[in-house]
Amino acid sequence: MPSPELALVARAHGVGTHLLSRQTLESLAESADLPALARALARLGAQLEPVAETAGIGAIEEAIRHTSERHLRTLGRWQRRSPGVLDVFWADQERRSLRALMRGALQGAPVAARLSGLVPTPHLPERVLVELARQPSPVAVARHLLMLGYPDADQLLRPVQKAQPELFAIEVALLAAIARRATAAARDGDDTVKQFVRERIDIGNLQNALLIAGAPRDVDLSWAFVEGGRWLSQSHFVAAAGATTPQAALASLRTALAGTPLADAVPPVVTDVARLERVFLGTTLQRLKQQSRSDPLGSARLLGVLLRLEAQARDLRAVAWGAALGTPPATRKQQLVTPWS
């Protein structure tokens, strides 16, 4: 009788065989336009939730979310037997989702735009994500979370109760709440899981430093630093966040992270912050692939499959929007993060 951990890793390996390969994604990226992509997606069969050959961008995004939810539901059935890694992944995805939903509510974005690229989790399944995307304001999002009994709802309610909520304060509250959950979930895990959590907190602090850099202020920004990271210290965070220009913040962060695994994640320009998460995801997947070869039954295999699932959702969305907007196929391929097998 296999141990619970081995059973979950084996199940993750099975899920991994159903994910799209880099070769398939590159082929999809060559689609001439959105109708051509829809036809190609319709031919994928069970690898993607059904997509009609005439599907538009909204239907394609919905199929991407449903595919992620299906795979996570399969793995979630084994969660009681091996707690930790799945909780870490879910906490990370929920921060991404709530960031998008809070930003969308603050900016009055269309519902479809707020849902774009989100990965459903047990706490925030598809139905709940849609409900949250329909809320008219950040405070309405937080109150809806409170009504649903979401674990961090009370902490997220505080920064959105002002007449004019500040995006920076919301981002800090989100990172702090999810960092606590992910750190607790990783406490009994191995070094692979703990390293991922710590570096993910670093990435969140880095993003927040770039978000506030160059803005006028006369307060100590140390309050906004979230503990638990590995490579970015509080002093380096404050120096970058307090920089007089975004360019100066980038220079400060490059110096602080030189020689660390996060050095390549610092974007070349502030307007390319999306590159930060893309590079981090890609380099982490490469590292996990190497670790799973030496320890095929460890958490690296499970975490690698989970992050490949995130990468697939990101890549399919990038390919779909690239086809819809007519960006060159070469550009679409450059945005892919799913590694070669």
pLDDT reported for residue 83: 59
Report pLDDT digits (tens) over 87-135: 999 999 999 999 999 999 999 999 999 998 889 998 999 999 999 999 9
- From the list 318, 339, 338, 306, the residue with the least C-alpha distance to 92 is 306
Q: Say how far apart CA 130 and CA 135 lie, in whole Å.
A: 9
Q: Is 55 within 8 Å of 63 (Cβ atoms)?
A: yes
User: What is the spatial distance between Cα 91 and Cα 214, in angstroms, rounded to a whole number?
Assistant: 30
Cα 182 to its chain centre, rounded Å, is: 13
User: 70: buried, middle or exposed (CB in 10 Å: 19+, 13-18, 0-12)?
Assistant: middle
Please return the burial class of 266, using the count of CB atoms within 10 Å of its CB with bins 0-12, 13-18 and 19+.
Answer: buried
| Amino acid present at 314 | R
Tokens 């966040």 found at:
241
Q: What is the third-level CATH fold of 1-83+298-341?
A: Topoisomerase I; Chain A, domain 4 (1.10.132)
3-state SS assignment for residue 273: coil
What per-residue string of b and e applies to 98-123 under the rule 16 or more CB within 10 Å gives b? bbbbbbbbbeebeeeebbbbbbbbeb
d(CA 283, CA 228): 20
Secondary-structure percent of the chain, ordered helix, strand, coil, rounded to 5:
70, 0, 30
Task: Report whether 104 contacts 113 (CB < 8 A).
Answer: yes
- Burial zone of 46 (CB within 10 Å; 0-12 exposed, 13-18 middle, 19+ buried): exposed
**H-state helical runs in 43-166:** 57-76, 85-107, 111-115, 126-133, 138-148, 153-157
Only one residue has tokens 């779909």, namely 320
pLDDT tens digits, residue range 19-56?
A: 999 999 999 999 999 999 999 999 998 899 999 999 99
DSSP conformation class of 261: T
pTM of the model: 0.91
d(CA 155, CA 7): 36
Residue 148 · residue 94 · CB < 8 Å: no
Assess contact for 300 and 196: CB atoms under 8 A.
no
Neighbours of 310 (CB within 10 A): 21
Contact assessment for residue 326 and residue 33, using Cβ atoms and an 8 Å cutoff: yes
Nearest-angstrom CA–CA distance, 73 and 94: 15
CA distances from 119 to 41, 92, 212 (A): 19, 10, 27
Give the chain's residues under pLDDT 50: 1-4
Distance CA 60, CA 39 (A): 11
Residue extents of the structural domains in the chain: 1-83+298-341
Q: What is the pLDDT of residue 218?
A: 67
CA distance 166 to 159: 7
